[in-house]
């Protein structure tokens, strides 16, 4: 499971909203605060970069699917019609899931056909998609 940004923020809220029992003081509490702080930092990066990464990714996936449709079937053109909706993260992710499933099916067809050029283009796209969604780990204190 990949938690969504709202899931992470709600989890952080629940972690800090409830007073800890006395036995969780000390190192355990320090570790808990450090995890919440790290998740908050990563969530801030996702809030900043996430929507634009999804919009770019969805547009790029549509272009790849539409380009392949004449060769591999109109089903890929139909899949490219998945709309981004109201541009909330949830709506962008729903469209992205549809587009990614279609890309996976396309990639399977491309591999079966031995279409090396398109296969390499899809592999580069996977790399670029991962890069667009990267989150940077901060330097850890005391290291």
Model confidence over 99-126: pLDDT tens digits? 999 999 999 999 999 999 999 999 999 9
Q: For the chain, what is the domain count?
A: 1
Task: Give the single-character DSSP code of 60.
Answer: H
Cα distances from 143 to residues 28, 40, 42, 130, in angstroms, run: 19, 20, 19, 27
Pick the residue with more confidence: 21 or 44? Answer: 44
User: Quick check: is 94 in a domain?
Assistant: yes
Domain residues for 29? 5-132
Evaluate whether 65 touches 37 at the Cβ level (below 8 Å): no
b vs e for 86-118, b when ≥16 Cβ sit within 10 Å of the residue's Cβ? eeebeebbebbebbbebbebbbebbeeeebeeb
User: Quick check: is 21 in a domain?
Assistant: yes
User: Quick check: is 141 in a domain?
Assistant: no
User: Quick check: is 71 in a domain?
Assistant: yes
Answer yes or no: is pLDDT of 8 > 80.
yes
Pick the residue with more confidence: 9 or 24? Answer: 9
pLDDT number for residue 143? 52
């Amino acid at each position: 499971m990949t938690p969504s940004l709202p899931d992470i923020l709600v989890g952080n809220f629940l972690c800090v909203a409830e007073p800890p029992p006395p036995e969780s003081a000390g190192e355990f509490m320090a570790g808990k605060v450090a995890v919440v702080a790290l998740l908050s930092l990563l969530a801030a990066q996702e809030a900043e970069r996430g929507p634009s990464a999804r919009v770019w990714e969805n547009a790029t996936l549509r272009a790849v699917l539409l380009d392949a449709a004449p060769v591999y079937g109109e089903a890929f053109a139909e899949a490219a019609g998945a709309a981004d909706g109201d541009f909330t993260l949830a709506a962008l992710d729903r469209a992205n899931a549809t587009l990614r499933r279609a890309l996976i099916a396309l990639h399977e067809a491309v591999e079966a056909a031995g279409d090396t050029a398109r296969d390499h283009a899809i592999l580069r796209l996977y790399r670029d998609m991962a890069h667009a969604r990267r989150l940077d780990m901060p330097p850890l204190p005391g290291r």
